[in-house]
Amino acid sequence: ARLMTMPHRRRLVRFLRQVGDSGSEGRIELALRSLRGEEIPAQMQISPVMDGDRLAGYRGLAIDISQRQARERKLTEYASSLESQLVQATRLAGLGQFASGIAHEINNPMGLISAYAEDLLDTIDGDDGPLDLNRLRRGLATIQEQAYRCKFITQNVLSFARDQVVNLELTDLGALVRDKVAFFSDRAKVQTLDIRLTVNDDLPPVHTDPSLIGQVLLNLLKNAAEAMDSAGCLFITLGRFRNRARLEVADNGPGLAPEIMERVFDPFFTTKEPDKGTGLGLSICYGIVRSLGGAITCGNRPNGGAWFRVSLPLPAEGRIGR
């Protein structure tokens, strides 16, 4: 009883039985008591002593491992400290990239606003005769347009940065997809865009947020149409893949280059012209789908063009409607 506490004694007894039954040497780490009652971590190496086929006893060696454990604790603390520093450095790098993207996107319209404002002030203060109202009107319209663009950028940044408010409800994805595709088709009004929709009507209702999924689908449709310059085939497919609902938006455009595919969901990454997009649309879609417990992936079609797939978990059998 003086050698070790009761829990360690029980562990040692069980270990001795295992060594005796196996007939082979084993090692175990326990805490032994010193004469002053202090616990000393020790590694015990124990082997059975056999008398023919009969277990006659045990032979063992105990090694003080307190210094080894102290070194291990220091190494663990050091590794934890390095991991924390790495996480912090990664966060700072991501924040720097994010801030750089915001600055780049805002600088373009702000540069135009500043230039047109200076030009209009020079026009008003000049002595070149009567004011050219058409010139003033064009300048003010440009300033207004670029101000709206700044507002659009900040709204997208806020949508990306804030946590999405998710309102789950039992949703008929087939009806939702048909409705959003019809809305997009009416809004696009592009005769050269061939939209082909395939929906699996046997798909059960899904617990999701219809508003957010609708936002994702419209964004994917818009991107696909723009990739083809609104001239080509747009394929929308909704079905089941294993235990998930899968929504695919594909096109027969140029597809995605490998270097683009690696970064397509990164904030502020875009292949569009500076005044055509902020590079936040797919990042927002990625965050929305993840918040709904799903996944979004992309790739290239064998016959040309790109695809984006959104998968959402289906309810377990017998739990629909509960």
CATH number (domain holding residue 147): 1.10.287.130
Both 197 and 152 in a single domain? Answer: no
| Residue 96 included in any domain | yes
Cβ neighbours of residue 259 closer than 8 Å, sequence gap 6 or more? none
pTM above 0.85, yes or no: no
Q: Is pLDDT above 90 for 235? A: yes
- Structure-model confidence comparison of residues 320 and 68, the more confident one: 68
The CA distance from 255 to 264, in Å, is 12
Q: What is the pLDDT of residues 131-148, one digit of tens each?
A: 778 888 888 888 888 888
Both 176 and 297 in a single domain? Answer: yes
DSSP codes of every residue in 208-224: E-HHHHHHHHHHHHHHH
Q: How many domains does the structure of the chain reveal?
A: 3
Both 203 and 298 in a single domain? Answer: yes
Both 214 and 309 in a single domain? Answer: yes
Reported residue count of the chain is: 322
| Share above pLDDT 70 across residues of the chain, in percent, rounded to a whole number | 83
Cβ neighbours of residue 200 closer than 8 Å, sequence gap 6 or more? 174, 238, 239, 240
Q: What is the CATH number of the domain that holds 178?
A: 3.30.565.10
Cβ contact 217:245 at 8 Å = no
| Alpha helix (H) residue ranges in 60-209 | 66-125, 133-161, 173-188
Domain boundary among 161, 183, 202: 161
Token pair for 262? 């690696």
Both 195 and 294 in a single domain? Answer: yes
Both 186 and 157 in a single domain? Answer: no
Q: Can you give the residue range of the structural domain that contains 105?
A: 83-161
| Residue 322 included in any domain | no
The CA distance from 35 to 55, in Å, is 31
| Residue 199 included in any domain | yes
Cβ contact 122:160 at 8 Å = no
Both 186 and 285 in a single domain? Answer: yes
* Region for 313 from its dihedrals, namely left if φ exceeds 0, alpha if ψ lies in -120 to 50, beta otherwise: beta
